[in-house]
Each structure stands twice: as structure tokens, then as C-alpha cells.
Structure 1
């Protein structure tokens, strides 16, 4: 009897974390759980900030990351691109003269570039597992604070086996799914797709988010927990499409990749945007889904 009770308790715990991604459960419980929803009148209004601001932020941090590792990366870059980054690298080295310690880790680069850094740590919410905290600095309202990594599935593509026991499947407004699980079959699928799409020396996506030390310090959005009854959300998901003209050399920091290699058009990404100022030490808390009227 004790063993059966333990099994039921374990199943209940899994269900509590998975149910927010389970569409029938969401449909039946919206009326009772309005605190965890955000309402927009149409898809185009599901924007806290403009796509231009999102793009500028990603370009800024990605360029800072590639410059910080320029000596190792320069041999892989075409001459025209290498010359541009070499100039930026020289400027950074000039400005940085006299500093006691060089900026080297992704977290330090994030802080130097955007004014804050974030990290994964045990959540302040009871039984919530890991969470994401502002470890240094502060996040101003309207800032891009994290990205939701994972394999991108179109509505017609199979994801049944990947979704079993998986609380990290994010559903976009138009039905596109992003599997942000960094373990098991989800991890294997992402790695396989990343190797498939590599273009010569250029990587089309980041695989380091699957480890404990991601090169893109923003790629921890899948660990942001849902707000509780007594804790309001301070970040919100926002969908963003990466267009084909996104710099080739910076794609290596994108933590998303299409499941199918014959998908034409932009790559779907999801960022988390601050709904208000978030201070050092505070945990990022979000809404799991948006309701479109």
C-alpha cells in the first residue's frame, strides 16, 4: 500500500508540472486560473516590445560574445567579416586597458553588455525545482531577459514521444511547438538537427544550452517557473521570428533549430521580456500561456 501511495504521489507531482502544457487541461481550467493567463485581442498584439528591440538586443549580446572569443574564432570567419570584428575587438581591447581582470565568462559578458546576469538555481517556490534568478545587476522593464531554447516543431510534425513526461514543451500562439527539454530523446533530437544543419565551419545553432555552461547566457528560459497565487509574474513570453538575413556568424548563439530541414522562412524563437524592473536576487516568474480572443 505504501508503495502504491508513493507511486501515485510521484505521478501527481509530474502531472502538476506537465498539465500547463496539456491543451485539454488548459481549456477546462482557464476560467479558474485567470491569474496565470495574459489576454490579447489578436496575435499581432502579443508584443510587449517591438521586434526591432528584440533583434537589437540579440545582436548586441551575440556580437559581444563573438568578440570576447575573437582570437579563437577569427580563423573561421571570412575575410570581410573577420576585418569588421577585428576592428571591434581592437576597440574593446583599447577601452579595456588597465582593467585588473578581463571579461571572459558568458555571464560576465551579459552583465557588461546589458547590465545584468542571470543563473539557474533552486526555485524560491515550493516544489518548483530549478528556477532562474537575477544574479547581478538589475533588469529594467521592457528588457529581453532570457530566451526559450529547443527544437522547433511545426503543427504537422510528430512530437508525441518527445512530449511524454516532458514539462518543457512550449506552445506558440499559432500552434508551433518548442521542445526545451535538455535531457533524453529531446536532447538527442536537438543535437542531431544541429549537426545536420551545420554549414561548413558555421554552426547554425547553439548546443551548449544542453549543458550546465551555455555559451549564450540568455538560453535558460525553459527553467523560468510559473507565478504562484501570492507571487505575480515579472516576465512574459514573446514570440520572435529570426529572418534569413540574420548574420551567419552569429547564428551559432541561437538556441533554437527546426526539426525539419525543409522549412522555408524564419526560425521561430521565444524570448522573455521583463514586465517591470527586476532587482538582483529576485526570481524570474512568468505566465505559461497567452489567450487570444
Structure 2
């Protein structure tokens, strides 16, 4: 019992603001410094957008026959994707195979190499160049004024953006129920505005595993970092079904906040991903 509590605390403490404040000086060598919030970009937003668009289009084409309801409503979209559908792509592949064929790598969850951690995320196949979107942080997006107290209790998966926006990436308990409720609330007929499959062991968007990336240490340096990205309003409606985020309060005027993980160096097959759980904006 005590061993399990210690393990949970080791994971949770990096999300606990009072602990961070008390240990900031001691943990200085594992901090990530950013001069100002506007400079917290490793790659341009346009590059993030193009990567997501390319990946989601490939996933959409791979499940082309399952998209009948959407294609019936958007015949111009059907024509567009028919032009992209090759003979080889008519064979249905797994999402991991689609990711490999599109970006040249796959990522998945497995037992972490850190003794103090449980699950981690690994590059299981291929090679990831520096400056590549390697995963996404899924979950419900909360603005500063929105209630998250009960969802946050004992929850090590809450990510805090620089502007105070929170993303709850927990795939269990109350967090899971909230995400599913918000996702189904925003569905428009056959158009899903978000992806629920990251709550399962087989996500249809294989990038949606970023919440399981572990914190770096003195022995395990960070090889990826978080980058915030607001999904533009012109994002194709038929591809929103692969976005692993949903807003807590429905507001058609606000952008959807996503967080992607971008590689800080080249990463080879078999390597585990490590991020930095806290960024200091000076």
C-alpha cells in the first residue's frame, strides 16, 4: 500500500504547484526556460497544422468506406479524397501502419524504463527527425474560470498551459466521463468534433498518447517538449474526428487548444520519450 502511494506521489508531484514552488531551486537543472510565452515555439504553427492535416487525411482515407454518412453530405469532399485514394490505400491498415507510412515512425505506450514510473511512450518503429510532431496531449480543455476541482483530485494528468488553460488527459474515472459527455454534446449529425478512442487501448489517432510521456531526469534528458497550438476555424470538419481534445464549455467563438510534443533532437527506434514537466517563463 505504501509503495503504491509513493509511486503515485512521484508521478503526481510534478503537477502539484506548491511542491514545484518549494523545489524550484533544487530542480533548476531540469527546468525549461522560455524568455516569454510568445517564444515557446520549437516549430512554426504552420508546420504543426500541416503535420496534423497530413496525418488525419491519411487516417481518413484508410477508413474511407466507413465515412459514408459524411461523404454523402459533402460530395465535394468525396471527390477530393477519391483523387488521393490509390490502389494500395484501398487496403485497410492499422492506425500505427498509417502513421508509419505517413510520417516514417510509430509511437506507442509500454512499460517505462524509469523505475519510478509506470507507463511510458516509445518510438516503436522508424526514425523521428528533430523538430517533428511526435505525439499529442489528449483531454478536456478547461479555461481559467471553469470548474476542475473534483476532476483534479489525485489526477497526475492535468497539463497547465502558459496562459492558465488546463487540459485533463486522464482516461479514467470522472475525467473520462466528462470528456465523453462533452464530445457527444458537440457532435453534429455524423460529424464528430473530437476523438473518443484515446480513452481506449486502441486509439484511432496513434499520436494521442502524449499524456503518458514521462518527466525527464538528470539521467534521462528531455528529447521532446510541449508546444501549444490553437486549431484554426478552417480546419476541415471531416478531420475533426481525429482531434483528441474537446472544450469543457461549448463556445463556437473560441479556438480549440491542443498541445503537441515536438522532438528536440533526432530520436531512434526503441527510445523512450521524455519531456520537461515544467517550463519557466521569465
CA contact (8 A) 1:46 1:238 kept: yes
From 78, 86, 95, the equivalent of 2:82 is 86
From 231, 243, 254, the equivalent of 1:265 is 254
Residue 58 of structure 1: aligned partner = 52
Q: Quote the RMSD (CA, aligned, Å).
A: 1.4
- What is the CA distance between 1:13 and its match in structure 2? 2.6
Deviates more, 1:141-150 or 1:229-238: 229-238
Q: Distance between the aligned counterparts of 2:154 and 2:80, measured in 1?
A: 46
Q: Distance between the aligned counterparts of 2:178 and 2:153, measured in 1?
A: 14
Give every structure 1 segment of 4 or more consecutive aligned residues whose post-TM-superposition deviation is greater than 6 Å.
none
- What is the CA distance between 1:263 and its match in structure 2? 5.8
- What stretches of structure 2 of length at least 5 have no aligned partner? none
CA contact (8 A) 2:34 2:281 kept: yes
From 233, 241, 254, the equivalent of 1:252 is 241
Residue 106 of structure 2: aligned partner = 117
Deviates more, 1:252-261 or 1:16-25: 16-25
Aligned length: 280
Matches within 5 A, 1:202-217: 202-217=191-206
Residue 126 of structure 2: aligned partner = 137
Residue 281 of structure 1: aligned partner = 270
- What is the CA distance between 1:262 and its match in structure 2? 2.6
Cα-to-partner distance string for 1:211-237 (whole Å, 9 max, x where unaligned):
000000100000000112211110000
CA contact (8 A) 2:7 2:117 kept: no
Per the alignment, in what secondary structure is the counterpart of residue 136 of structure 1?
A: strand
Residue 173 of structure 1: aligned partner = 162
Per the alignment, in what secondary structure is the counterpart of residue 112 of structure 1?
A: helix
Q: Does 1:227 align with 2:235?
A: no
TM-score (normalised: structure 2):
0.96
TM-score (normalised: structure 1):
0.93
- What is the CA distance between 1:63 and its match in structure 2? 0.1
Q: Does 1:106 align with 2:95?
A: yes
Q: Distance between the aligned counterparts of 2:30 and 2:178, measured in 1?
A: 30
Point out the structure with max Rg over C-alpha. 1
Q: Does 1:183 align with 2:183?
A: no
- What stretches of structure 1 of length at least 5 have no aligned partner? 1-5
Q: Does 1:39 align with 2:33?
A: yes
CA contact (8 A) 1:243 1:265 kept: no
CA contact (8 A) 1:135 1:280 kept: yes
Q: Distance between the aligned counterparts of 2:181 and 2:66, measured in 1?
A: 25
